[in-house]
Amino acid sequence: MRNVVLFIAMSLDGYIADGNGRVDWLMGQDEDAETADSYTDFVKTIDTVIMGWKTYHQVTTELSPGEWVYENLQSYVITHRACPSADNITFTSADPCSLVEKLKAKEGRDIWICSGADIVRQLMEQNLIDVYRISVIPTILGGGIRLFPHCGKEIKLRLAAVSSSNGITELIYQKNDEANAKKPVT
């Protein structure tokens, strides 16, 4: 069965974007130093990406205008906006949990939860995230969009790996339950 993986970066104080939704602070401690690239290996393990409208809009208008950087992945954008879907981009107002359960039942590689604090909260409430891959950026924002809004329940995790490069620490946790403890982290 496919894993549902939250692969995301956050500030040391737990924010995924500043108060204006910007992510220009996502870098290591030394701008001139090389930072390890875990994304390239990670993206080889997935074939599906799920994101919210704000992230989609930010990617297409600020971070990579004119180029869809996830063209080799089946992308789902959760939104209430009426947008025409394209070959590999599906705009949907589906409940994130129902969408993930439906996709998880299909054959394929892992499913990447790319963004959306509200999407993450809903998936956490239903315990649908199998792997948490979180890069902690050496920046304290002091406010903004929290990665883990209150989900109302405790979720036990098991540390699977830790790595560090240029002040960025990547933490990989798995759900700590019988069914997932035996699944390899990819």
Q: pLDDT tens track of the chain, all 186 residues?
A: 899 999 999 999 999 999 998 899 999 999 888 888 899 999 999 999 999 999 999 999 988 888 889 999 999 999 999 888 888 999 999 999 999 999 999 999 999 999 888 999 999 999 999 999 999 999 999 999 999 877 778 889 999 999 999 999 999 999 987 534 445 555
CA distance 154 to 22: 29
Residues near 171 by beta carbon (within 8 Å), at least 6 away in sequence: 132, 133, 134, 135, 136, 159, 161, 162
